[in-house]
Chain A
């Protein structure tokens, strides 16, 4: 049963189509991410749902109520902006209570204390936004949006301005709060790792259209096209002709491209005879670069005219150096084909 329904939404700025016939549904309590590069239309879509911008065509409903032409103040939607948009002339408690004051609802003091407790903002009630750190400002923005118990929570890249450590902590907190409050959430980000970590479902967007929708696992393991494969993870994408040049055996693919995840490739200095040839492709190459990535070691291997990326867990075992000649073993199952 869909809770949020976005149907055939179109938006143009002059001659440029920003949202091109976008349709999707979200279940109640689901955490959905709109993932894509800058300018792909994800923030515009979020703003259209919030009612900040008008759409040219299509319709948006929440809990079977058409909100397409409803002003944003009547949509019962909470939003955290990328810049947080905290009111600089108000203290933390005034910022949080602003919505309650405007809508004249709830027990202001009780609700506010509860929200301050949940967000861990105790002791900061009388501070002004400029006296807070980025992480604290983000919590205030989240508290301000959540105190009204909105039907949907929209998060427009709220973590992009934070450093890695605080970002990780807040990612976990956002997920925890979303689960606890069971609030339907739409999150916008360009960070695929963040999307994978937080979401129940991901919509990958490109040039105003949804390229692929699915669970994080599905998006990661089965990209539908070249764009998704290139955007999610660091897939090796080879064209049909490049692939034919790389492999030594006669294996025809009918599609235009083949994609292989770097961690699915096994690398060995031993002779190819030791490998299982039945379910795998064997490619010979020379290591161009080796990079220690923390828990991973990343190799760039020159295989004929193509450079292939291989990732191995950084653990005791067989390691290679730049310039080593190696054999790559690619499971046939790991080869994803698409046009």
Chain B
């Protein structure tokens, strides 16, 4: 019993330690006046209204979404094609693909940013300061997550055996991949994509060094607002946390082993039987 209480105490202490700064930020984002009291003297939602009415913020958000979605898409397509070719035709060469895919893990963002700047500043391809250099570098840094996600899914479903089985039943290789393998690894692909999105939303070093203010993304916007208005910065941070939490929640949802299919039908508003509707009308629930 004492041991259980001790564990509970540690969990509570750790939760306070982790959640207190977030709670402080949340309170500050909702505070109107807060100077010499424990809790804010007055509350407001105006910082959020101001934030979501700021076209600069909305543009930065849409730029971030565009850059992240493009890089994740490129990375997925490249890695899927590479993995299919390697797994089906050259399984013994997979170690090389693994090595190449894992390199971004070992290269700090600052190093790759300086390397890219050096290469492209003196190159005829002038993409420094444009979203394209950011998309390219993001597509590379998420490669380890994408590789691992796709690889694990392919081996879990025994993709090679499934392709062989489909071929023996008359399917071409492409048909076998599309009709049998892809639907079965979709969960893994989604998990890899969501993990990458969550990671890229928090990436600052590459965005700042490669594009900076020339193509303002959410991270750059946050950095620039940081010194100007604390309340607004807090509202950005909380909004950012909510986005990350939603993405992480989806990630956990897709990684649960019991969930095989996502049924949109389950999301429909429950249908009422005619008699139920009449009854509710009488009670005044349905107008």
A interface residues, Cβ below 8 angstroms from B? 50-52, 71-73, 75, 77-79, 81, 83, 85-89, 98-99, 102-103, 128, 130, 144-145, 148
Contact = CB atoms under 8 A, between A and B. Distances in A.
Nearest to A89: B183
Contacts of B164: 50, 52, 72, 79, 81, 85
Chain B facing A: main interface SS: helix
11 contacts: A51-B168, A52-B164, A73-B168, A81-B165, A83-B161, A85-B164, A87-B166, A89-B180, A102-B169, A128-B260, A130-B260
Contact of B184 (A50, A79, A88, A98): A88
Contact of B168 (A72, A83, A87, A130): A72
A85 B162 CA distance: 5
Q: Which 7 A-B pairs have the closest CB atoms?
A: A102-B170, A99-B169, A85-B165, A103-B170, A89-B183, A85-B161, A102-B171
A321 B8 CA distance: 63
B168 A77 contact: yes
B169 A148 contact: yes
A98 B167 CA distance: 11
Nearest to A102: B170
Given A85-B158, A85-B162, A73 B171 contact: yes
A72 B184 contact: no
Interface in B160-205: 161-162, 164-172, 175, 180, 183-184
A128 B161 CA distance: 18
B157 interface: yes
A71 B174 CA distance: 14
A79 B168 CA distance: 7
Contacts of B162: 85, 87
Contacts of A86: 165
A328 B134 CA distance: 86
A73 B172 CA distance: 7
Most B Cβ at <10 Å: residue of A81, A102, A128: A102
A161 to B, nearest CB: 13
Contacts of B169: 73, 98-99, 102-103, 144, 148
A98 B158 CA distance: 18
A232 B200 CA distance: 62
Contacts of B166: 87, 98, 102
A252 B175 CA distance: 67
A98 to B, nearest CB: 5
Contacts of A78: 168
Contacts of B157: 88
A278 B180 CA distance: 69
Contacts of A130: 260
Given A81-B161, A83-B161, A85-B161, A73 B184 contact: no
Contact of A89 (B161, B167, B171, B184): B184
A199 B46 CA distance: 82
A78 B166 CA distance: 11
Contacts of B165: 79, 81, 85-87
B188 to A, nearest CB: 13
Given A81-B165, A87-B166, 8 more contacts: A50-B168, A83-B161, A87-B184, A89-B180, A89-B183, A98-B166, A98-B171, A130-B260
Interface in B123-173: 157-158, 161-162, 164-172
A269 B259 CA distance: 67
A308 to B, nearest CB: 45
A207 B114 CA distance: 57
A103 B180 CA distance: 16
Nearest to A85: B165
Most A Cβ at <10 Å: residue of B169, B170, B184, B260: B169
A89 B153 CA distance: 14
A89 B168 CA distance: 18
Most B Cβ at <10 Å: residue of A72, A75, A78, A145: A72
A158 to B, nearest CB: 13
Contacts of A85: 158, 161-162, 164-165
A87 B167 contact: no
Contacts of A79: 164-165, 168
A71 B169 CA distance: 11
Nearest to A144: B169
A78 B169 CA distance: 7
B170 A99 contact: yes
Contacts of B167: 52, 71-73
Nearest to A80: B165
A148 B161 contact: no
Contacts of A128: 260
A102 B161 contact: no
A79 B175 CA distance: 19
